[in-house]
Structure 1
Amino acid sequence: MSLWNLVRPDSLAGRTMLVLVGGLTLLDAGSMLIHDRALHRAELLAFETRLADRILAASAVSAGQPEAERDTVVREWSLPGLELRWRATPPSAPVAAPHRFPELFEQLGESGPVVRAMVGAAASGAVAAPGGGWIHFAAQPPPYAGFPVKPGHWLPVSAMALGILLVAFPILGWMTQPLRRLAEAADRLGRDPRPAKLPTTGPVEVRHAAQAFNAMQARIARLIEDRTEALAALSHDFRTPLARLRLRAGFLPPGQERAEIEAEVAEMEAMVAGALAYFREGRDAEPSVDTDLAAILQTLASEASDGGHDVAYLGPARCVIPLRRVAAKRAIRNLVTNALQHGAPPVRITLRREGRQAVIDVTDRGPGIPANRREQALAPFVRLDPSRGGSGVGLGLTTALRFATAEGGDLELREAELGGLGVRIALPAG
């Protein structure tokens, strides 16, 4: 299994990896955000401490100066972002905001009365000077730049996510292998006459699912086997009364009545023989081997052509694919026979490769089958008398469909380029 099929977003393994990597990314981003906010808080506390030291130092220096020069002396202690003034009175509109800049006002409060005057985001207020008056201050704290998104921050996360993917890839592949086997077995169900049992390995839920699937598979196989045996026995039992009927018809004088009875008996015998072959094919376990499909089609075309029919093969001289040789020959022969009996010449058998498929087309120039009746034509023992003639058993298309499905392919009825019926079989080419 390829890496993409394992980690694709709609797969169980892919979604598990998405949860792991996404959760790790969110956790790391959250921790980085918390660390960044804590770092900013530490910077803010350091800023408040430096601010308090600067204000207290300016207050102490102003105490020994004449009152007229105190404002000039205090101004010299100003810094970019910090404005200091000396005033004889405190701020006129004090505002109590103890939750803003607590470290600053706590340190200033240790030296004397403090008046808070918060203006926006600035730390502003006044502290009583020891020599009289008030030291007014207004400082802008360092702004919070927000969560920094830098490539270097994501390098550890990317490395960790890659490590998780490398470790989780084989583990998830091993864990989901029973589910893939279950899906493959479900796909084979109905195509393989003797499906193999699923191994009951993996987690307990998967083991229970495999056990239930094996039990269901066994019940279906047993039901099909019972029905097939009953129908095959019934078809076989028809041979005895048909033989007696043919024998009695032989005692009739030659004429139209005798000919009609013998024709009816022959048709019923053909139906019984076809039914027996159909049921027997469902029970046969022919192995699939590498087979030259082109050689089979060439042989069938030559046989029909030697019989005086306008049948030709168009395609490559060689096309080797794995399939059941006898079943393939029987199915394609039925299609050619149908085209000769119910269609009109010319009959063409074409073969071509399309990607990983081998595509077979059997076409004729007959009346074809209406689009609204094509699905019905694929059912067993169905004969579309108005459009395809009244002879035959009604198993030719059904046998071909069963063969295509058992090989993992498909059969489609379509309108041929010449106006008749086109039967297309697409088989996996390995």
Structure 2
Amino acid sequence: MMRRLWSRVGLIPRFGIVIVLALIAMHLLKDEVMVRFVPPPQIGLYTRDWLAERTLEAVRIAQATEPQRRAEVLKALNSEWIAFTPLAGPAAVDANPPAPLASLRTLLENKLGDTVRQVSVFATPLEDPSQAISGASVMIKSLPLLADVVRDDFNEEAMIIGRMEIALELPDGTWMAVIEPGRELANMRRLRNLGVLMIGLGLIAALSVLGAGMIIRPLQHLAAAADRLGRERELTPVRKPEVPELDAIADSFNEMQRRLKRFVDDRTHMLAAISHDLRTPLTRLRLFAEFVKDRQQRAQVLNDIEEMEQMLRESLAFASDEARHEAHSRVDVAALLISLCDTVADAGGQVWYEGPNHAELPCQPVAIRRAFSNLIDNACKYGEQARVRLTEHADAIEVTIADRGPGIPSEQVELAFAPFRRLEGSRNRESGGVGLGLSIARDVVHGHGGSITLEANQPTGLVARVRLPKPR
């Protein structure tokens, strides 16, 4: 039920839901989850008079205690708001503190009098108390508080500070400090703040990937279906995506496949039917030609009939559905080329093979064999010899077939692939053929998602370059 409802939600609401979920998750992470592991820093409200009185009390007790027991005694004075501790060495003294700190130091000096030699006050202004590491304090002159501590965060009336330390030099030359408690969690809070940042970035990245996947996955299915359609020429319906905005794209693609298939099948069947139907009258013409008394005329008629029958055979092969419906299987293209070269060489042709002994590729075996056979035969017929070279790349197999013939002008290369076109100015008229060899080869190569080009060979001749991609 939920899946059906989700499939009706469009892209814009989906992205809105993802963003809202990200904000809720960040809020819960920061204010609920992390607080359970690391408590937030306490925020103390101090008056200067109270601080001075507590400090004076601690100084008097410290002076009346032996230095060896001073740390233990001062620890007993600690509370959840203030802590006292002896220092191992002298503290640094700020000669020109800000005005609010100078005012606080003057107050302490007046209150403590001769019980201390010197007083040093350190404080760090704080804009956001929730991000404090060691704690936060609001220091005011006296109650009632009339200052706006949110707006006036560091002035004479009120100070919002994130770290406070008062260093006092006692008459005997030792030092003690007045600090805020809770600093033992400072490192944990630093890790907390860093953890919130890193987890938040990871959460946003994960939700971004999820949102992008809503668009990318249907498009990947569409690209895979288009790739299969280009290779196998069979209907590869795209399943209906779970995003309403992409439904129209999937439906249009599936309808386009059906129209293309119907268009190609109709033209192919029509050509096959015409070629097949012409065989019967040609057979009758061959019988009638036998009754021609003139031997030379009879030979000419029979030769014309033979040429027409060859054209029909080539046309039927070109339009045959057998190759288009042939199943794909793994073929050793190198072994196939070696076999074709051996066959041509046994028939007296000059052909050589260069390349590895094995190179497998999923393809239609009969169709690929016919394509390479046509290219090698053309090279031997019109170019005297054929030099076949196979190169295997990471993403494709490349085959070049070079000859030493007169070649084809660059402006006529595209015409060479046209069905029933023979470039008589560059090829031998007596070599036979009806101009379908290159058309069939390109049709097969394109059906496998590959490419075929004709290039000039140096110093003379033609190079047919076939590139067949490996399936992704």
Give the alignment's TM-score, normalised by structure 2. 0.58
Letter in 2 for 1:240: T
Q: Does 1:181 align with 2:240?
A: no
In the alignment, which residue of structure 2 is the partner of 1:355? 394
1:293 to 311, 333, 336: 333
Q: Does 1:412 align with 2:453?
A: yes
Offset of residue 152 of structure 1 = 8.8
Q: Deviations over 1:118-149 (max 9, x none)?
A: xxxxx9xxxxxxxxxxxxxx99x99xxxxxxx
In 1, are the aligned partners of 2:450 and 2:467 still within 8 Å (CA)?
A: yes
Distance 1:159 1:80, change over 3 A: closer
Q: Distance in 1 between matches of 2:389 and 2:323?
A: 30
Offset of residue 190 of structure 1 = 4.6
Q: Does 1:395 align with 2:440?
A: no
Q: Deviations over 1:89-122 (max 9, x none)?
A: xxxxxxxxxxxxxx99xx9x9xxxxxxxxxxxxx
Offset of residue 395 of structure 1 = 1.5
Distance 1:378 1:158, change over 3 A: farther
Offset of residue 399 of structure 1 = 1.3
In 2, are the aligned partners of 1:365 and 1:420 still within 8 Å (CA)?
A: yes
Q: Does 1:222 align with 2:269?
A: no
Distance 1:299 1:152, change over 3 A: same
Letter in 1 for 2:359: C
Show structure 2 runs of 5+ residues with no match.
1-10, 31-44, 49-98, 104-139, 147-154, 161-189
Q: Distance in 1 between matches of 2:234 and 2:101?
A: 89
Q: Does 1:333 align with 2:373?
A: yes
Q: Deviations over 1:22-46 (max 9, x none)?
A: x98xx99xx9xxxxxxxxxxxxxx9
Offset of residue 373 of structure 1 = 1.7
Residue pairs, 1:215-364, within 5 angstroms:
215-250=255-290, 251-255=292-296, 257-281=297-321, 284-345=324-385, 347-364=386-403
Q: Deviations over 1:359-387 (max 9, x none)?
A: 11111100111222212222222221211
Q: Distance in 2 between matches of 1:376 and 1:157?
A: 64
In 2, are the aligned partners of 1:291 and 1:321 still within 8 Å (CA)?
A: yes
Where 2:233 maps in the other structure, the secondary structure is coil
Q: Distance in 1 between matches of 2:261 and 2:193?
A: 60
Where 1:387 maps in the other structure, the secondary structure is coil
Q: Distance in 2 between matches of 1:415 and 1:354?
A: 23
In 2, are the aligned partners of 1:232 and 1:275 still within 8 Å (CA)?
A: yes
Distance 1:262 1:173, change over 3 A: same
Q: Distance in 2 between matches of 1:330 and 1:201?
A: 39
Letter in 2 for 1:219: R
Structure number with higher relative contact order (C-alpha < 8 Å, ≥ 6 residues apart): 2
In the alignment, which residue of structure 2 is the partner of 1:365? 404
Q: Distance in 2 between matches of 1:375 and 1:154?
A: 64
Report sequence identity in percent. 35
Q: Distance in 2 between matches of 1:161 and 1:382?
A: 63
Q: Distance in 1 between matches of 2:235 and 2:468?
A: 20
Distance 1:158 1:242, change over 3 A: same
The number of residue pairs the alignment matches comes to 335
Q: Distance in 2 between matches of 1:187 and 1:410?
A: 14
Q: Deviations over 1:333-365 (max 9, x none)?
A: 1111111222222x1111121222211111110
Moved over 6 A (4+): 78-82, 150-154
Q: Does 1:207 align with 2:238?
A: no
In the alignment, which residue of structure 2 is the partner of 1:156? 196
Give the alignment's TM-score, normalised by structure 1. 0.63
Distance 1:366 1:359, change over 3 A: same
In the alignment, which residue of structure 2 is the partner of 1:7? none
Q: Distance in 1 between matches of 2:416 and 2:322?
A: 19
Q: Distance in 2 between matches of 1:200 and 1:426?
A: 33
Show structure 1 runs of 5+ residues with no match.
1-11, 32-45, 51-77, 83-102, 110-122, 124-137, 143-149
Q: Distance in 2 between matches of 1:282 and 1:178?
A: 33
Distance 1:277 1:252, change over 3 A: farther
Distance 1:378 1:289, change over 3 A: same
Q: Distance in 2 between matches of 1:379 and 1:214?
A: 30
Q: Distance in 2 between matches of 1:227 and 1:282?
A: 15
Q: Distance in 2 between matches of 1:399 and 1:198?
A: 29
Where 1:381 maps in the other structure, the secondary structure is coil
Offset of residue 429 of structure 1 = 3.8
The alignment yields a C-alpha RMSD, in angstroms, of 4.5
Q: Distance in 2 between matches of 1:225 and 1:344?
A: 38
